[in-house]
Copies of this chain bind each other. A is one copy, B any other.
């Protein structure tokens, strides 16, 4: 298996972009990534795109706009892990020597989609969903269990939102650049007790793209290629284990595969981007990724370890909570954030001397017990 590097990253603005088409938004990200990489569109040999809604030859429709044609293109869907699945598709093809250079694109147009309601309403063929269990409902159940089991408080969850919005204020691409206090978060509109509005990620349109190539070839384009040293994608036991819904064996298993491939452990990671669709979720992911032991996650945010400038910044981009969450785009966008830090280009939110970063995504349907996907990518400079 060959070593693979990311040599270009790009994203569109994130927000309510209903005045634009998916092609417009996707093209913005692709053009930015190609420019960042300094490669000619004709050098791209394979492309994977991800889009959850209206995924009709998305890769082809976007890429023809920049003259990328006559190559293998695949469109993928894997719920919130779709963008990461596209990234992994390109990574595999290059690692396995099938192609030398490729592009991964994630795009989602949610705010003006007639299907947007599906995000929080029951999906078809989903028993729990049909019985009324919505996404905020699931995470409220988790939050209650976290409070019961580990003594977490609503203020702890609010602190995650305060942190990520603080980070988002340093990110020019963030949908919501505003500082909030714990009181602001706790007192915002109640969605599903104990989850308030400011503990939920917003509805967001946007796109992100990444150019990958063999490490050998990367040196022709850049003096600082960012290596993909671990990649894992798994589906299976998902959101909650019935005996303890705060445990997600899928997350731990996926992370362990990536750690093993990379030859590193959680203690070697300098920064993390993870799936924080709801504030309390971030704490669960700390634990699954091995950043702390089970039940100890709240300590990391209370002690400022996961804040920008802390021991191991988590979601320095602002995360889904502040930056926004255009589903299939997020998995490419959060890898791009890691790349920025490893290059030392993250501006005022830069993680000092970052050498190794981890990007995590997780998604699935409402019942979710097994119908989900989790991805972990580990990158190194």
Contacts and interface: CB of A to CB of B under 8 A. Distances in A.
A348 interface: no
A178 interface: no
Contact of A365 (B57, B72, B76, B253): B57
Interface string A262-297: 000000000000000000000000000000000000
Contacts of A364: 57, 60
A23 interface: yes
A96 B92 contact: yes
B61 A89 contact: no
A64 interface: yes
Interface in A326-381: 363-365, 369-373
Contacts of A125: 21-23, 61
Contacts of A237: 69-70
B79 A365 contact: no
A124 interface: yes
B69 A78 contact: no
A57 B55 CA distance: 13
Nearest to A363: B57
A77 interface: yes
A125 B24 CA distance: 10
A372 B71 CA distance: 11
B92 A60 contact: no
Interface string A72-92: 111111110000010001001
A236 to B, nearest CB: 4
B373 A73 contact: yes
Tell me how many chains of this kind the complex includes.
2
Given A74-B78, A89-B74, A370-B69, A56 B235 contact: no
Contacts of A74: 76, 78, 85, 89, 233
Given A22-B125, A54-B124, A372-B57, A98 B92 contact: yes
Contacts of A61: 125, 365, 371
A342 to B, nearest CB: 26
A39 interface: no
A234 B72 contact: yes
Contacts of A77: 55-58, 75-77
Given A57-B78, A60-B365, A70-B236, 11 more contacts: A56-B124, A57-B77, A57-B235, A57-B363, A57-B364, A60-B370, A61-B371, A69-B237, A72-B233, A74-B85, A77-B77
Interface of A: 21-23, 47, 52, 54-61, 64, 69-79, 85, 89, 92-93, 96-98, 123-125, 233-237, 250, 253, 363-365, 369-373
16 contacts: A54-B124, A55-B55, A56-B77, A56-B123, A57-B364, A57-B365, A60-B365, A61-B371, A64-B370, A69-B236, A70-B236, A71-B236, A73-B78, A74-B76, A92-B96, A92-B98
